[in-house]
Amino acid sequence: MRSPTGESLQRLRIFLSNLPASAYIFIMFYVSIGILIAISFTVPRKYVVEWSFTLENYVRIFTDPRFLSPILNTFLIVTVATILLIIVGFPIAYYLARVNPNLGIKLIFFLIIPVEVNYLIRVYAWRNILGENGFLNSLLLSLGIIDKPLSFLFYSWFAVVIVLIHEWLPYVVIPFYVNLVGIPRQLYEAAMDLGANRWQIFTSITLPLVKPAVLTVLFIVFIPSLGEFAIPSLVGGESGIMLGVLIDRYLSDFRLAFGAALSFILLLVTMGLSILMIKIFGYEALYQR
Amino acid sequence: MAKSADVILKVDRVSKRFGETWALRDVSLDVYRGELLVLLGPSGSGKSTLLRIIAGLETATSGRLYMEGVDITDLPPYKRDTSMVFQHLALFPHMTVYENVAYGLKIRGVPKEEIDRRVDEVLSLVRIRELRDRKVTKLSGGQQQRVAIARSLILRPKILLLDEPLGALDLKLRKELHIELKRLHEEVGNTWIFVTHDQEEALTLADRIGVMNEGRLIQVGEKWDVYDYPKTRFVAEFIGETNMFTVSIDDVSGGVATGSWKGFRVSFKDGGFRPGETIYLSVRPENLHISKEPPAGEEYNVFHGVVDVEVFRGSYVIYHIRLDNGEIIRVTVLSKDAEFDPGDRVYVYWRFDKGVPLRE
Ligand SMILES: Nc1ncnc2c1ncn2[C@@H]1O[C@H](COP(=O)(O)OP(=O)(O)OP(=O)(O)O)[C@@H](O)[C@H]1O
Ligand SMILES: [Mg+2]
């Protein structure tokens, strides 16, 4: 048995060797969040922080309809984008994993390439497609389907959803692909042997077994997207405004207390949702069937 | 057996090719109603492929299948009256025991009350009624085994196909389940085709055994027949233990062929042989006898040698005897008669008609 002093020496050594990393995380993460939370309870002032406690910021956010709508908008946009992402991404993954697995194994790598392209470049590409003088409008005009450019295509709610889908699609296809490939072929054969046709196999075996991928998508796409500010501020215009844009506006306008309050609300919401999902499905659901 | 006349499934010259490999070559087989047929063969011999073709999960490259006289070659699996218990069970991991077992009936739209009744019935049959609401991922190997069988049995298939269903279990549990499976087969009374590469399992379970090798069905028959009268060296060596002698025949007369094997003279029943022919003679260790004195009588082949090794197996003993020509042969003796020690000089002998001459 080790002597008590030896043991505490050991502990001290472990503590000291972990200190730099812990300190880094603590200062860069928790302390800054602490400061943010503290500031959110101070009196709204421009340029300065006046250290006196008040709930004023929060009261305003929850009573003023001008704030409520971007918050709801955020949820709506992200929810719609996530649902569409699954609707688009799942069939692609299904095709690559089950219908044409030989192609799938080659093609899945190509899905990762767009991720490497800077999103600014992608945003400009979308402007060229969706903008007032963009490809889509020119096409529709020259075909005579419309007689003046469609304006809702760009600087809009619609554009945010489109660009979000483009941004996140690989992150949806890949988890579904990995999940689907991992389902043993024998399960499908057993179901077929027990009398199920293709559709019944799909609904009774495939769908329930891709729950882990759905959860992964919720965690790596839905929740992070709630804080998105680059895409809505670049392509969103007024109808595509999101909480992130609002926070950015207040912070760059040096209305720190207010920006901090909005940030804290966002933080609480994403944390709450994460905890809720873990409570409902359990940690295991992410990797276990 | 009276039921022998009643063929429920006829496999007619079925072959299957995967790319360059022939998994099955020209397999023909009659399966009788109510029997437990075991397909036995080493890994890669085509057992699973044959079973999957019968189940409809694989299509034959050539050949036809008939069930009760009807050609089912092109029917999809869900229209066949067969059900398969898979090599790795393939239980649905997101479902409970009940949901797994009820699956086939639910797919068919059977009313809930009837499903409940039949699930209870079949779970009692395989003796896991108390596990009804457990997740299948939370069961032991033996319990999962029973769920897999129940899931198929509940559909009352005309033919139950079992692909090495005990493969993943330990020896003791396997042996227990062998007895239970036999009981179950008696109780249910339908036809089973059971695949295994374990000859002991085959001998325990089977009514009839079909031996496969390299995609061919080499021999099918009552298990005693296959054991006592193997058709080829492969069958003789794969089922049970045997001593194999390569004999050049030099005399055939009066229904007895005689030849020499490494300096010893051996005689056996003539099977239409000609002098000059070389055959393989298979003699089971339990048909050999040892004694310190030479046996009296003309009907024996007699070798002479020294006891080399004695292997104690509980109820019996295996002696390895080094013969005077330097070869080793194995003899089994009941433990109560095992009175020899390594180093003893002994005679080894067997009756002419206990040797099985094989051409290939
Ligand atoms: N889907 C497939 N594609 C290519 N080759 C296959 C396929 N299925 C089986 N084979 C080949 O066919 C041959 C027979 O395989 P099969 O699975 O029927 O053997 P088995 O007797 O069941 O063996 P085991 O005891 O190992 O299960 C093997 O050579 C195998 O490699
Ligand atoms: Mg197999």
Number of H helices, E strands in chain A: 17, 2
Backbone angles phi, psi at B299, to 5 degrees: -85, 15
Task: Give yes or no: residues B234 and B293 share one domain.
Answer: no
Return the minimum-mean-pLDDT range out of A127-141, B63-77, B338-352.
A127-141
Does B55 contact A at CB distance below 8 Å?
Answer: yes
Query: Given an 8 Å threshold on Cβ–Cβ distance, is A184 in contact with B88?
Result: yes
Give the mean pLDDT of B338-344.
89
More confident residue, A105 or B300: B300
Q: What is the pTM of this model?
A: 0.80
Choose the closest CB to B57 out of A189, A211, A289: A189
Is B133 found in the same domain as B234? yes
Cα(B53)–Cα(B77) distance, integer angstroms = 9
Shared domain for B58 and B177, answered yes or no, is yes
Instruction: Tell if the CB–CB gap between B86 and A196 is shorter than 8 Å.
Output: no
B208, B252: one domain: no
Say if residues B338 and B310 touch (Cβ distance below 8 Å).
Answer: yes
A92 phi and psi, to 5 degrees? -60, -50
**How many of the other CB atoms lie within 10 Å of CB of B132?**
15
Residue A129 phi, psi (nearest 5):
-90, -45
Contact criterion met (CB below 8 Å) for A259 and A251? yes
Q: Cα dist. B176→B82, B143, B181, B195, B300 in Å?
A: 26, 12, 9, 18, 41
Cβ–Cβ contact B59 with A under 8 A: no
Token pair belonging to B238: 């794969």
Residue B3: band (very low, low, confident or very high) from pLDDT cuts 50, 70, 90: very low
CB burial class (10 A; 0-12, 13-18, 19+) of residue B313?
A: exposed
pLDDT score at A112: 74
Strand pairing category for B316-323 and B328-334: antiparallel
Are residues B192 and B302 both part of a single domain?
no
User: A129 vs A111, A134, A234, CA distance in Å?
Assistant: 21, 5, 15
CB of B103 less than 8 A from some CB of A: yes
pLDDT at A288: 59
> Do B123 and B210 share a structural domain?
yes
* pLDDT at B2 > cutoff 50: no
The alpha carbon of residue A248 and the mean position of all alpha carbons in its chain are separated, in whole angstroms, by 18
Regarding the beta carbon of B230 and ligand 1, being less than 6 Å apart is answered: no
CA-to-CA distance for B98 and B151, rounded, in angstroms? 9
d(CA B55, CA B69): 16
Cβ pair A218, A211 in contact under 8 A: no
Write out pLDDT tens, residues B148-170.
Answer: 999 999 999 999 999 998 887 88
pLDDT top residue among B1 and B203: B203
Could you say which residues from 80 to 99 on chain B have a Cβ atom under 8 Å away from some Cβ of chain A?
A: 82-84, 86-88, 90-94
Of B84, B92, B110, which to mutate for an interface test with A (greatest number of A Cβ within 10 Å)?
Answer: B92
Ligand nearest to the CA of B25: 1
Complex ipTM: 0.81
Integer CA distances (angstroms), A127 to A116, A160, A235, A236, A244, in order: 19, 11, 8, 11, 21
pLDDT at residue number A89: 94
Report which secondary-structure segment, H or E, holds A276: helix A256-281
Distance CA A244, CA A70 (A): 9
Residues B61 and B129 in one domain: yes
Dist CA A101 CA A89 (whole Å): 16
Beta bridge partners of A271: none
What's the maximum distance between 2 C-alpha atoms anywhere in chain B?
A: 76
| B146 at interface of A, judged by CB pairs closer than 8 A | no
Q: Rounded to the nearest 5 degrees, what angle is found at the Cα of B30, between the Cα atoms of B26 and B36?
A: 120
Q: Does B195 reside within a domain?
A: yes
Query: From the candidates B52, B101, B107, which should be mutated to test the interface with A, based on the most A CB atoms within 10 A?
Result: B107
Cα→Cα distances B243→A10, A233, B328, B344, Å: 67, 86, 9, 21
Domain limit, last residue, from B238, B273, B305: B238
Q: Is the pLDDT of residue B279 over 50?
A: yes
Give the pLDDT confidence score for residue A61 in this predicted structure: 84
How far apart, in Å, do the first and last CA atoms of chain A sit? 43
Rounded to whole angstroms, the Cα distance separating B193 from B181 reads 12
B104-120 residue pLDDT tens: 999 999 999 999 999 99
Q: Are B99 and B114 in contact (CB under 8 A)?
A: no
**Mean predicted confidence (pLDDT) in B242-247:** 93
pLDDT of residue B1: 43
Instruction: Examine the fold and report which residue of B238, B261, B278 is the final residue of a domain before the chain moves on.
Output: B238
Domain of B325 in residue numbering reads as 243-358
Cα-based distances in Å from A193 to A181, B57, B65, B77, B115? 20, 8, 17, 5, 18
pLDDT below 70 — which residues of chain A? 1-4, 114, 284-289
Angstrom distance (rounded) from CA B100 to CA B89? 11
* Same domain assignment for residues B44 and B67: yes
Instruction: Report the percent of chain B where pLDDT is more than 70.
Output: 99
B318 shares a domain with B224: no
Count how many domains chain B has.
2
Eight-class DSSP state of A223: H
Q: Is B118 in the pocket of ligand 1 (CB under 6 A)?
A: no
Q: Average pLDDT of B194-207? A: 92
| Nearest-atom index, ligand 1, CA of B215 | 14
Please report how many Cα atoms fall inside a 13 Å half-sphere around the Cα of residue B231, on the Cβ side. 13
Q: Residue B250 pairs with which residues in a beta bridge?
A: none
Q: For residue B55, which residues of chain A lie inside 8 Å, CB to CB?
A: 193
Does residue B2 form part of some domain?
no
**B279 and B338 co-located in one domain:** yes
> Which among B184, B213, B238 is the end of a domain?
B238
Residue among B27, B21, B59 nearest B216 (CA): B27
> Does B43 map to a domain?
yes
Query: Per CATH, the architecture of A58-286 is what?
Result: Orthogonal Bundle (1.10)
Contact check, Cβ <8 Å, B93/A193: no
B46 and B141 part of one domain: yes
Give me the CATH number covering residue B264: 2.40.50.100
Domain holding B234: CATH number? 3.40.50.300
The average confidence (pLDDT) of chain B is 91
Q: Work out the pLDDT band at B96, boundaries 50, 70, 90.
A: very high
Residue B5 confidence (pLDDT): 67
Q: Does B78 touch chain A (CB under 8 A)?
A: yes
Tell me how far apart the alpha carbons of residues B190 and B204 are, in angstroms, rounded to a whole number: 18
Domain boundaries, chain A: 1-40, 58-286
Residues B248, B336, single domain; the answer is yes
